[in-house]
Amino acid sequence: MPFSGSSSGAPGVFAYNAPTPTWKTVITRPSHPEVLVSSNFALAAPEKPSWLLDREIMGLKFSLATRLTLRATHECLEANGWSYTHAMSDFEQLHKRGAIPAEKYLGRY
Protein backbone atom coordinates (compact mmCIF):
# COMPACT_ATOMS: atom_id res chain seq x y z
CA MET A 1 0.00 0.00 0.00
CA PRO A 2 1.51 3.40 -0.96
CA PHE A 3 2.25 5.92 1.77
CA SER A 4 -0.44 8.48 2.23
CA GLY A 5 -0.04 11.31 4.65
CA SER A 6 -2.98 13.27 3.45
CA SER A 7 -6.38 13.18 5.01
CA SER A 8 -7.86 12.54 1.56
CA GLY A 9 -5.92 9.29 1.25
CA ALA A 10 -4.30 10.27 -2.07
CA PRO A 11 -1.22 8.09 -2.52
CA GLY A 12 2.17 9.78 -2.16
CA VAL A 13 0.79 13.09 -0.94
CA PHE A 14 1.90 14.47 2.38
CA ALA A 15 -0.58 17.09 3.39
CA TYR A 16 0.60 17.89 6.91
CA ASN A 17 1.05 21.66 7.00
CA ALA A 18 2.30 22.30 10.50
CA PRO A 19 3.88 25.67 11.14
CA THR A 20 7.65 25.71 11.00
CA PRO A 21 8.97 26.12 14.53
CA THR A 22 11.11 29.15 15.11
CA TRP A 23 13.78 28.64 17.74
CA LYS A 24 15.88 31.46 18.98
CA THR A 25 19.06 30.34 20.64
CA VAL A 26 19.89 32.55 23.55
CA ILE A 27 23.40 32.27 24.90
CA THR A 28 23.89 33.76 28.30
CA ARG A 29 26.89 34.24 30.48
CA PRO A 30 27.09 34.75 34.21
CA SER A 31 27.18 38.30 35.50
CA HIS A 32 30.67 39.60 36.26
CA PRO A 33 31.55 43.03 37.66
CA GLU A 34 34.28 43.63 35.07
CA VAL A 35 32.25 42.61 32.01
CA LEU A 36 29.78 45.06 30.50
CA VAL A 37 26.42 43.58 29.57
CA SER A 38 26.84 44.98 26.05
CA SER A 39 30.28 43.33 25.65
CA ASN A 40 30.79 40.22 23.56
CA PHE A 41 33.34 38.90 26.09
CA ALA A 42 32.87 35.13 26.50
CA LEU A 43 30.19 35.14 23.79
CA ALA A 44 30.57 33.79 20.28
CA ALA A 45 30.99 36.37 17.53
CA PRO A 46 31.65 35.79 13.82
CA GLU A 47 35.07 37.48 13.92
CA LYS A 48 36.20 35.80 17.17
CA PRO A 49 38.47 32.74 16.81
CA SER A 50 37.28 29.66 18.72
CA TRP A 51 40.50 29.47 20.77
CA LEU A 52 39.88 33.02 22.03
CA LEU A 53 36.27 32.25 22.92
CA ASP A 54 37.42 29.14 24.82
CA ARG A 55 39.95 31.20 26.80
CA GLU A 56 37.42 33.92 27.59
CA ILE A 57 34.90 31.38 28.87
CA MET A 58 37.60 29.62 30.91
CA GLY A 59 38.77 32.94 32.32
CA LEU A 60 35.26 34.00 33.27
CA LYS A 61 34.62 30.69 35.05
CA PHE A 62 37.99 30.84 36.79
CA SER A 63 37.48 34.43 37.91
CA LEU A 64 34.03 33.67 39.33
CA ALA A 65 35.33 30.55 41.10
CA THR A 66 38.38 32.25 42.64
CA ARG A 67 37.13 35.86 42.92
CA LEU A 68 40.29 37.01 41.09
CA THR A 69 40.11 39.96 38.70
CA LEU A 70 40.11 39.12 35.02
CA ARG A 71 43.67 40.49 34.71
CA ALA A 72 44.89 38.28 37.58
CA THR A 73 42.94 35.35 36.14
CA HIS A 74 44.62 35.84 32.76
CA GLU A 75 48.05 35.93 34.43
CA CYS A 76 47.34 32.75 36.38
CA LEU A 77 45.94 30.82 33.42
CA GLU A 78 48.73 31.97 31.11
CA ALA A 79 51.41 31.01 33.67
CA ASN A 80 49.84 27.54 33.80
CA GLY A 81 49.65 26.95 30.04
CA TRP A 82 45.89 27.63 29.96
CA SER A 83 45.20 24.50 31.99
CA TYR A 84 42.26 25.20 34.29
CA THR A 85 43.24 22.32 36.59
CA HIS A 86 46.86 23.44 36.96
CA ALA A 87 45.86 27.08 37.40
CA MET A 88 43.35 26.18 40.12
CA SER A 89 45.94 24.08 41.93
CA ASP A 90 48.43 26.95 41.71
CA PHE A 91 45.81 29.42 42.93
CA GLU A 92 44.84 27.22 45.89
CA GLN A 93 48.46 26.85 47.00
CA LEU A 94 49.14 30.58 46.76
CA HIS A 95 45.83 31.45 48.42
CA LYS A 96 46.51 29.14 51.39
CA ARG A 97 49.87 30.84 51.92
CA GLY A 98 48.30 34.29 51.67
CA ALA A 99 50.64 35.06 48.79
CA ILE A 100 48.06 36.75 46.55
CA PRO A 101 47.83 40.54 47.01
CA ALA A 102 44.38 41.91 47.91
CA GLU A 103 44.25 44.03 44.73
CA LYS A 104 44.23 40.84 42.63
CA TYR A 105 40.77 40.03 44.01
CA LEU A 106 37.41 41.39 42.93
CA GLY A 107 35.65 43.79 45.25
CA ARG A 108 32.17 43.00 46.48
CA TYR A 109 29.40 42.92 43.90
pLDDT in tens, 44-87: 999 999 999 999 999 999 999 999 999 999 999 999 999 999 99
pLDDT the model gives residue 5? 44
What pLDDT band is residue 28 in, cutting at 50, 70 and 90?
confident
What domains does the chain contain, in order, with CATH numbers?
50-104 (1.10.8.10)
pLDDT the model gives residue 30? 86
CA-to-CA distance for 99 and 2, rounded, in angstroms? 77
pTM, rounded to two decimals: 0.73
Other residues' Cβ atoms within 10 Å of the Cβ of residue 73: 25
pLDDT the model gives residue 19? 61
- Contact between 68 and 104 (Cβ < 8 Å): yes
- What is the average pLDDT score of the chain? 84
Alpha helices, DSSP H only, in 1-109? 50-66, 70-79, 84-97
Residue 24 has pLDDT above 70, yes or no: no
Residues 6+ apart with CB under 8 A from 47: none
pLDDT the model gives residue 11? 55
